[in-house]
Amino acid sequence: AQSVTQLGSHVSVSEGALVLLRCNYSSSVPPYLFWYVQYPNQGLQLLLKYTSAATLVKGINGFEAEFKKSETSFHLTKPSAHMSDAAEYFCAVSDPSNFGNEKLTFGTGTRLTIIP
């Protein structure tokens, strides 16, 4: 079974500061990993994904994440926070051996607040 743990249900950063959202995974096989973002009153949209190619993955809106197998982590970062980054962020994992039916297992989410 796979799972993800997101450390910190709420994170606040000042505008212009570094954003760091933490995600650790548990998987018996090398996983696929994802970060999704949910803006208020909207569904989820993909920020970025790791599928065993480059360990540093760049996504939309200036976000990136690094897959670290030794730490079983996939933390999300952005060098400089913008007010528009305020949202809820979800880390998710899937099993690549589950061919075709990519069910995702989601973390509990981190709500990011940006302080002006």
Partner 1 sequence: DVKVTQSSRYLVKRTGEKVFLECVQDMDHENMFWYRQDPGLGLRLIYFSYDVKMKEKGDIPEGYSVSREKKERFSLILESASTNQTSMYLCASSLLGRTTSGANVLTFGAGSRLTVL
> What is the contact surface with partner 1 in residues (CB under 8 A)?
6, 9, 32, 34, 36, 41-46, 49, 51-53, 90, 92, 94, 96, 99-109
Closest separation between CB of residue 85 and partner 1, Å? Answer: 19
Residue 46, CA distances (Å) to 59, 61, 77 in order: 8, 11, 15
Could you tell me what percentage of the chain is helix, strand and coil, using 3-state DSSP and rounding each to the nearest 5?
A: 5, 55, 40
Closest separation between CB of residue 80 and partner 1, Å? Answer: 26
Could you give the CA distance from residue 83 to residue 96 in angstroms, rounded to a whole number?
35
Specify whether the CB–CB gap between 36 and 49 falls below 8 A: no
CB-nearer residue toward partner 1: 53 or 83: 53
CB-nearer residue toward partner 1: 43 or 116: 43
Closest separation between CB of residue 91 and partner 1, Å? Answer: 9
